[in-house]
Structure 1
């Protein structure tokens, strides 16, 4: 990877004077620990303040046999909530089952939020199957169920990940490109920036794996994943997003929620933060440091508010590192789902292998914890 980065925006509330994004190496590297393992491909973990943990399982081609969501126990992952939600089978419409869960989160309360794209890879989504669900993480009871209509999620759309601040849920659409906002207080859902090319993978960009290998299927078709990773600052002022190829952008959340602004007007308010390597996931801390799972280096990089990107940890076990989680004690959790080795990314040959692992490492004591 070429260590050259350029920046035209800033992180948090700090404006950068220089257009050059510096790259620094961490003086010391923390130790990487194996935290959990799974017999199914997992790309997301949710960690509660009391230590309870959950895994989600996306259904890529050849990976249809998982329960979609599970709780980590001493005996391994156990289907959660363990009823009809975990009983999807190929051919089901997926309206009332978990089909293709791409993200799970716990935001400091008793709710486990999941993002279900509603269709296995390569399948068409049935009406109402794409959804957000908040489970009581103790009982498994559904506390909130949010479905998308054709206005908020047109055909071809795919809800990818979410963040919550106050009463607002922000969701990226990686199928078409766009940001979906649901107001928990009013129950209203709006779609923003769906027409903007800045929410789509740049035409000249390619998604890469380890050491820069271009991802493609047996016919040479390359993945075209659009707005994917998403973060919201601790004060709720800024929303950051990126496609897996970058660049990283940000926009003020107040502008996204302003119904008087058209998408064309909103697009002019988008700020490019940085060009980045191919990434799988992200996290943000209370000080505005962004953490990126660098697929090309199998590393976790930190992008500081001053515009410096530094490698915190690099390990060849981090095969396609994905969604990142920082817990209250300062542990960073990293699933390694091996996505670069699935058939659609590996010339048609699935070279993934069980078990799949989740790793973790301790952030430096001076690093701010999860907000």
Structure 2
């Protein structure tokens, strides 16, 4: 009789919220009233609409199908390829449009941050970017907000470029003025020494023609402290967590080269895609190499709160008013571009949640 050998322990109570049998999702956000929004960037799947709301267990294009149809005559008012959606807790859904389907050069004038009124489901304002802010290499990834500073608040956006400089893009929501910070800095750049490993195999670009190259992606995950004073961020291909004062980021009298001395280092937290903070200042981050979710306390202590074989690439996070942590699992590492053109993803992709007993960090007083 063969003995039963010990095996890896899994933990964390996960609940399935939604199973996706169509296009691959990346972003999720839960509003203060419990509405759930999803986005689907155009990475090669058949994306019928790039932003959706889950209504009565069905996906509905949001805010309308028309806006989700690319209109070359009016790209400012139509969604091209949305990477991130963020409900701000006070009645607005913010939509970050990369305008870069299949990681192409962003379509000129198409990259934007869009504010949608959740009461009327109408676009309230669109922020576009000049060519010195959204570069030919830029990939707008994720965004966080603080409405306690300036006349209308500020947004902080990660540029997770794979070919150019990473950065934090700071946006004055009053006048739309935007500027790049930590442009090409070590803290916003891929770790050149990292060999990411997922499901026991090295993650790298493996092309149809048999050629290979390292997988490198710049600043991606972003989170903001409950008081809005500290911004946390991490490159996608890195296990390191960094922070910086938002006041310093906004102060343009401080040269970018001098910003480096204001960056804080929090140690290794695992390689993460998405991050989020709760109202007590705890940070939640994925660990895509280990099918896990980490919690980083304000004192820097880290713990793993979920470790489960179903967590096949934890992407974006959101904390709902029900005190659950919601996150997308999308098997990003199984895409064809990592496997010589062969798509290894298995449907469904999933939206999971776990009870954390904490509310989201507020972006306003």
Cα drift, residue 243 of structure 1: 0.5
The equivalent of 1:241 in structure 2 is 233
Residues 93 and 194 of structure 1: CA distance in aligned 2, closer, same or farther (over 3 Å) = farther
Cα drift, residue 83 of structure 1: 3.5
Residues 78 and 267 of structure 1: CA distance in aligned 2, closer, same or farther (over 3 Å) = same
Measured in 1, the distance between the counterparts of 2:57 and 2:282 equals 35
Q: Which piece of structure 1 moves more, 66-75 or 209-218?
A: 209-218
**Counterpart secondary structure, 1:225:** coil
- Note if 1:180 corresponds to 2:169: yes
The equivalent of 2:98 in structure 1 is 117
**Counterpart secondary structure, 1:324:** strand
Cα drift, residue 66 of structure 1: 3.2
Cα drift, residue 186 of structure 1: 3.2
Deviations 1:203-256 (A, max 9, x none): 222343234632322221232210111111111111111011232111111111
Residues 298 and 348 of structure 1: CA distance in aligned 2, closer, same or farther (over 3 Å) = same
Q: Which has the higher contact order (CA 8 A, sep 6+)?
A: 1
Measured in 2, the distance between the counterparts of 1:189 and 1:370 equals 24
- Does the 8 Å CA contact 1:94/1:119 hold for their aligned counterparts? no
Residues 57 and 180 of structure 1: CA distance in aligned 2, closer, same or farther (over 3 Å) = same
The equivalent of 2:144 in structure 1 is 163
- Does the 8 Å CA contact 1:93/1:126 hold for their aligned counterparts? no
- Does the 8 Å CA contact 1:293/1:322 hold for their aligned counterparts? yes
- Note if 1:263 corresponds to 2:277: no
Deviations 1:271-310 (A, max 9, x none): 1111232212111112221111111121111112232221
Cα drift, residue 351 of structure 1: 1.4
User: For the aligned residues, what is the CA RMSD?
Assistant: 2.2
The equivalent of 2:269 in structure 1 is 276
Residues 208 and 149 of structure 1: CA distance in aligned 2, closer, same or farther (over 3 Å) = farther
Residues 46 and 220 of structure 1: CA distance in aligned 2, closer, same or farther (over 3 Å) = same
Q: How does 1:1-371 map to 2 (within 5 A)?
A: 29-38=11-20, 39-60=22-43, 62-88=44-70, 94-166=75-147, 167-175=153-161, 176-211=165-200, 213-218=202-207, 219-244=211-236, 245-363=238-356, 365=357, 367=358, 369-371=360-362
- Does the 8 Å CA contact 1:281/1:321 hold for their aligned counterparts? yes
- Does the 8 Å CA contact 1:282/1:324 hold for their aligned counterparts? yes
Measured in 2, the distance between the counterparts of 1:346 and 1:279 equals 21
Deviations 1:83-108 (A, max 9, x none): 4321139x999544212211101011
- Does the 8 Å CA contact 2:103/2:139 hold for their aligned counterparts? no
Residues 343 and 37 of structure 1: CA distance in aligned 2, closer, same or farther (over 3 Å) = same
Q: Which piece of structure 1 moves more, 111-120 or 122-131?
A: 122-131
Residues 254 and 297 of structure 1: CA distance in aligned 2, closer, same or farther (over 3 Å) = same
Q: TM-score of the superposition, structure 2-length normalised?
A: 0.87
Measured in 1, the distance between the counterparts of 2:75 and 2:194 equals 33
**Counterpart secondary structure, 1:98:** coil
Cα drift, residue 348 of structure 1: 2.5
Cα drift, residue 368 of structure 1: 5.7
Measured in 1, the distance between the counterparts of 2:244 and 2:361 equals 21
Q: Which piece of structure 1 moves more, 264-273 or 346-355?
A: 346-355
- Does the 8 Å CA contact 1:193/1:266 hold for their aligned counterparts? yes
- Does the 8 Å CA contact 2:23/2:46 hold for their aligned counterparts? no
Q: TM-score of the superposition, structure 1-length normalised?
A: 0.86
5+ residue gaps, structure 2: 1-8, 148-152
Instruction: Give the count of matched residue pairs.
Output: 341
Deviations 1:189-216 (A, max 9, x none): 1211214233110222234323463232
